[in-house]
Structure 1
């Protein structure tokens, strides 16, 4: 019995030594530390975005994420496409619990500033260092609203938020012998002529009240007040009750009083206004780059053929310039502060896959405006997009109001423009805006 027990113990000891020796051998060669998949460490990433629709840009961004997955089989990507209407709220909810996804789509301006202030972001500057030519091809100002520390960038825009193109139907202008306006006097003359001929001068769908603010007042007001005044007012160093801003609201009221917009403009949405315009029922439309994508997907070649693109006219006596477009860097993908190690490296490459040269080109070819210099003459873009892209390359970009105002103040000016369209006074709207912005700067 003792001999049998001794034999069993001896066998167990020998087996243990053999297993240890085999394990030691693998550790020395590194074989046990290498994943089976090409020697790359397995990582998991989460990415959230709001490209959930069927429009061409949404399809382009999702395809870039799918391409990254294919090229990086060691990275398990959990991508969530959240509808636009609920995206901000979902992101704010996880931000409150410091449970941000590794990579997430973030808007320039107040939203990204708030996330930075809360310590939820980390720089993507390593991409700038790794791909200097990529950084150098962005248009001037592309990183202004994503830079929160000296020499540190926190996102790369995959869009240009150009919000105030003047689209016009050249056939209608020629038919009624109307000059494309380059001054405010010419704009009001065009409004009168088209009204006299039963043509709506300017299509507007302001049911969601951000439209008039984003597409019209930011650009008109900049021509009256100048950019520097607005930036001071946004910081509390000037007042929105200053006469110069009341005068700017007065220009919007002048459009309303002269029936520049179709009846019921506060009751239809922007998409309906686009269709109204493209069907030839309106001579002009002041809208953003999103209209390029929408018309490329929904309008016929015959409908788009007569449409030209330019900037809003200059305003005589104003402190600002003509030939400008309100806008700025659009949204981009940001990196969570909690993402570290190999996951961080993979996340940075995912951001580059979307916002790098190939990604920018693919997004541009979905007829979406980008802040990236490239030659699109031979690309698969619509003629209308190419016209707008060439306008942007020559235009100076001025601020969009809601990118600088507090959320409360932005809501105030949005609603205030609807009030003016229903007979409200510019002075009353200016006071409400000033009170709302003052509360955020105290």
Structure 2
């Protein structure tokens, strides 16, 4: 089904954030003041990130509200959790609350396997079901088959994310280039950079970035219903349709013209980010999660962001989820901690350190770059613009897309790539019954 309208999302969030502080963290955990209680928290956001800064504050708030409770925090890696979550959560040594990737192939799979706690009662108790608008609830809720968008709550996010274009203001000014608002203007900008021997876009073919370029190209001609069919199996998906065919042709065209470098096929996202940070490429298209890093690390030039020109659909969603394992020992404390991440002080820290808070507020945000980041998200959220991510539909689609975008960069035929995607996708959908 088409996504429900989120036109009232921002207004509703602004009204509810203050209310959450009153109903939130004061009493969810049974025995929460007992010195024998321990809360085990895992996440994989690195030191210095907006998320680490904000969640450290949530831990401080939690400790103040739960005197005598010991918080045991462990920093994990994304790959560690992505590859081993099922095995970890099948053991007796599990965290009480942990960060985990959203989507059918991740949280949906764990929920279907019975490894996560159903948070539906808590969503009502803490009013998370009112704070998160319809589009942002999609990745928090999963049905019996592990398909996102309906059913029970299995996770809660305290931030949002989306793909955006980062650009070097100095390089744009040097070559007389205005911020593009149409694809024709973006193409003209890229051609100008090429004339001066500059590769317009940083890219990482050995990581998630290349598939995100491909997906944004697909979304330029996709419909909201096609996104729903692709992500939620609501209808037949044809990888040889106009949108996907256009995507592979456009991607190949960009590689052949040099808009993205063919030798970036072996680069990681970190290397692509470094190419933007050092001024080697004037643009990089990737997630809003890079903003905090760039604010910290870029000292030699000014930069900004703009939405992918011409698209009404844009990759994005609620952020990674806090989930509660089925075998967690201190679930009530876990619920209280999750709620602490949604409180105004934590949300403000997210906003002021380069992230998009779930409340999507700009009040009290001092950095113009962060205000711009949040306002662009508001534009997407209020116009049904969030289209999730390309690797979500199947547990191994990330690896499939990674390999196929590399093949495209290396000269494989578009038809062959699309057929491989079709086969992988159809096999998984068939397994769902």
Is the TM-score greater than 0.5?
A: yes
Give the Cα–Cα distance (whole angstroms) in 2 for the partners of residues 177 and 311 of structure 1: 20
Pick 1 or 2: higher relative contact order, CA cutoff 8 A, min separation 6: 2
- Which residue does 1:212 correspond to in 2? 210
- Which residue does 1:345 correspond to in 2? 332
Alignment of 1:47-86 (within 5 A): 47-86=41-80
Equivalent pair of 2:202/2:272 in contact (CA under 8 Å): yes
Instruction: Tell me whether 1:87 sits opposite 2:74 in the alignment.
Output: no
- Which residue does 2:387 correspond to in 1? 398
Q: Over aligned residue pairs, what C-alpha RMSD do you find? A: 2.7
Compared CA separation, residues 38 and 137, structure 1 to 2 (3 A): closer
Alignment of 1:286-325 (within 5 A): 286-300=285-299, 302-303=300-301, 305=302, 307-314=303-310, 322-325=311-314
Compared CA separation, residues 125 and 360, structure 1 to 2 (3 A): farther
Equivalent pair of 1:227/1:399 in contact (CA under 8 Å): no
- Which residue does 1:433 correspond to in 2? 421
Post-superposition offset of 1:176: 2.5
Give the Cα–Cα distance (whole angstroms) in 2 for the partners of residues 38 and 255 of structure 1: 57
Post-superposition offset of 1:80: 2.0
Give deviations 1:294-331, integer Å, cap 9, x for gaps: 1112111x52x2x22111122xxxxxxx2443111111
- Which residue does 1:3 correspond to in 2? none
Of 171-180 and 420-429, deviating more is: 171-180
Give deviations 1:365-414, integer Å, cap 9, x for gaps: 321223323234x335x4322211111111221221112x2132332122
Compared CA separation, residues 308 and 48, structure 1 to 2 (3 A): closer
- Consecutive unaligned residues of structure 1, counting only runs of 5 or more, are 1-36, 315-321
1:113 aligns with one of 90, 108, 113: 108
Compared CA separation, residues 424 and 108, structure 1 to 2 (3 A): same
- Consecutive unaligned residues of structure 2, counting only runs of 5 or more, are 1-30, 144-149
Compared CA separation, residues 425 and 98, structure 1 to 2 (3 A): farther
2:341 aligns with one of 323, 348, 354: 354
TM-score normalised over the length of structure 2: 0.80
Compared CA separation, residues 195 and 140, structure 1 to 2 (3 A): same
Pair member with larger Rg: 1
Aligned pair count reads 387
Post-superposition offset of 1:440: 0.7
Equivalent pair of 1:51/1:59 in contact (CA under 8 Å): no
Post-superposition offset of 1:56: 4.1
Give the Cα–Cα distance (whole angstroms) in 2 for the partners of residues 123 and 364 of structure 1: 29
Give the Cα–Cα distance (whole angstroms) in 2 for the partners of residues 233 and 398 of structure 1: 10
Helix, strand or coil at the partner of 1:48: strand
Compared CA separation, residues 345 and 142, structure 1 to 2 (3 A): same
Post-superposition offset of 1:126: 4.1
1:409 aligns with one of 387, 394, 397: 397
- Which residue does 1:266 correspond to in 2? 265
- Which residue does 1:160 correspond to in 2? 160
